Structure formats: structure tokens, C-alpha cells
Amino acid sequence: MENTVTFREFEERDIDFIYRWKNDEKLSNMIVAEFKPFSYEDAKKWVYGCMGEHDTYKFWAICTNDSERRIIGWVALSNIDRANQSAETHSIVIADPDYNDGIAWIETEFYLLKYAFEELKLNRLYGVSLMGHKMSNTIGELLYFKTEGILRQAYYKNGRFYDLQYIGILKDEYFAHKDAGDYEIMKVIRRLRKIRKG
């Protein structure tokens, strides 16, 4: 089964997309980040800042898997710590509503897992999300991340305090699940249906 999305470096043609969606307050509603309007100049700086190689972070444009490779969202690894061999999943944003069925999100997580453990040779990948963010909370369980802790009322957003959920997966856990075929897309979709029913 061919992937619905692919990944590439940011390009200048992405600036309009970033300007539009960084100013969409609804999109940022459940992201662990404060919403603030972006000027067009802010969007340009943000895109240029995401380009290339950096010691502690790496950004990708999530794109359509066709010849156009049109941006539909963005994703990053942050807090890349080579000494402790860890990194944080960061900013998984699927902005294009045509790709918001969950499949693009799963494919993006697959990409991050492979990059973290097979390219960077890390030992640990972790993430944080607002409790109540259905997709973030479900994806962690779906892909065998373990809940490592809950920080109660740790983040203020949308006029209220949210608990923060921390999840993580280790290299040995990733490879064990990969070798068992647990990351085959149809297996993951079946597991997603079970989680949603439960």
C-alpha cells in the first residue's frame, strides 16, 4: 500500500501555506504552544529557520505523495540530545483538511520512528501532549509508546489548565514491534479501531 504522504525539506513555496495555517487559531487549539498571530515576515523567517541541518532539531514539510509534493503540514524532532541518545517528537501538524483522516498522522509517526531509531541511532523517543487531544493521546498508544507520566494542570491554554501527558518509546521496543510486523499499516488501522471502541 503506497503512502499518502511523503517528507521533504522546507522550500520558499511553502511560505504562503505556513502564513495561512500559523494564523489559524482553531488549528493550534490543542497544540502545546501559545497561539500568536504570524505576520508574513514571521512566516518567512520560520520557514527559513526550518531549512537545513541543525544540531538539536530537524523539521520536515509533510507533502502529498505525487509529483507536485505540495505541503499539507509539518513535523519536527526537537531536543535532539546525542549524548543521551534521545529526541522529542514535536509539532506534528496536519493542516490540510483533506488529509485529516488519521492516515497521514500515522505515516508521519512511522517516519519519525524510523528516522530517530534507524538514521540517528537514538535510544529513546518521547513526546508531550495536552490531555484531551484525541489524536495525540491515541497515536502514542497505537504505536506502542508508554505513558511515562502526567503533569497535573501544568499548561494554561484556552482559558483553563490542562494536564500534560508524557510518553516514550525505547529503541529495543521499537525494533521488537517492527520485527513482529506491528507497524504494518493494516495492523495499525485494525489496532486503531480496537482502541477507539475500547
Question: Which pLDDT belongs to residue 36?
Answer: 86
Q: How far apart are CA 21 and CA 89, in angstroms?
A: 20
Supply the range of the domain harboring residue 171.
5-197
pLDDT in tens, 62-95: 999 999 999 999 999 999 999 999 999 988 899 9
DSSP assignments along 102-114, one per residue: SHHHHHHHHHHHH
How many domains does the structure of the chain reveal? 1
Question: Residue 54's domain is classified under what CATH number?
Answer: 3.40.630.30
How confident is the model over 133-172, as pLDDT tens digits?
777 778 888 999 999 999 999 999 888 999 999 999 999 9
Of 72, 61, 192, whose CA–CA distance to 134 is shortest?
Answer: 192
Q: Give the per-residue pLDDT at 134.
A: 73
The stretch 2-31 carries a mean pLDDT of 92
State pLDDT tens for residues 90-133. 888 999 999 988 889 899 999 999 999 999 999 999 999 998 77
Radius of gyration of the chain (CA): 17
